[in-house]
Chain A
């Protein structure tokens, strides 16, 4: 009995202390005011004044501020747009690759799988960094294009949103390929043959059978790209330049550069609220799939 209690209590307590409590703190600070103090916000909780006095000093001022300064809602909108666009782009690039993998000879598939997973184990930072050398004005891409005479002036790609899209598609591609591949891999080949036997053309069979049956994989892949991209920080700050506005970057700067903890916390709370809907949809999709498999 004691053992069972310890087994449950240890990870539970850890997560409560290091996951849930920190969120409560973020929420609390988002309702506080910035101040020139250490730590730089008021009110500080103290037992002498009591909980009532403490609560009465909390307000939604920071959230009001977020709506007034258009930097913030522009950043949210821009993050959403970039996340949606790059999810679509990743799907367009990832689906054909996943499809081709599932159609490849059986003995190639483990190798192809490993080739998709390998970048996932390599440092994210390094993979983003690799594109800096390629996309810069004197980078390899421009050298190549100038060399073959396709352009006469170097293209400015680095520090634009184009570079951000390239970076996102590149780093998140495995997350899109793997769930779609596993859905397509399970697809019974005789289904396509049956569809063709019943009068479908190749394209119709693909559209009417393959796509609907790989839909859980597509949905999972899209969420796996969309959710983390929305709060992405590394890619916009290395590839996006000052022109790319993304909420992860704003939060970072608000915290580290402006030392405005209450506003940074408010930004985090709003980001979380935006993410709750896709996260719940994602979980539901996963659950449905797990049930279907049983």
Chain B
């Protein structure tokens, strides 16, 4: 795993400025969906725990978390298959609790696709439009438009079992988009596809989302997928949202150890923080070792337990101590993982902590500089790590 392969479409900046899609930073925008203190319990089990969240129009919003974290329940509440036990869910400012699923301007793409096996691709796409009693001409035009959008023109007459998995996925998408919903819910939309096809389809999804301007809410357990497609990602655990932010901020400035650990690879060094100037801290992490320096906007009390989270690609490995590094530690190469484009070195520090350092293999057939049991130096800048509360 590693960084998302493409830069997210939204910038990481804190300030809203023209041309960048960041409605969540614009106080004038009102959200399309609003969860207000929503709790959902199934008997004793609390699936969603006092959750508050805003999702804006035209967003591609990802709910990311391990299975059982409540992401699917949130989606099913939006679709109308579950009702919140407490709290209110609003769609364009209206409480949706009393509206049954068949009357909501919300459509869903199911994990299993739920294509009707007895109907052709064409009829599957037309199914929702027929329920709205759309005139025949308009209906045909709309179905054709959807077929073109999803490049399914040649398969219109086929039954779902006569097309491939990737095509089925596109039929499911076309069917749920046909009614031009305000909000489209996608439940693990790419889960059934193999890795190669999944990557191609991710871009297709983004493309279609942009073309139609529909608000997408996607549920996934695949962090790479969430980072690739979404404008914002909500990392969930145990029915709560731990952090909801742009992919870049989630990756670069995780708000907790859980998020840092869940997204991508990370080194965590435990220690005690001591303020050392403006937003700068000294981290004592092991007896007899030089303290590390880190910066953080959050305040830490002197001596407060903390975790320093550093991404492996931000750690530089060298045989000599770099002269100007803010942080430098010495250790022994414990393991080397060669991944083709990257190599990851697992370096054991005195005291047993293992730190991973990643280097890009930019040259073919380059001599491997370090080998097992070599003593090496690891270094990183003062802003490379994120200081998190313990």
Q: Do chains A and B touch in the complex (CB under 8 A)?
A: no
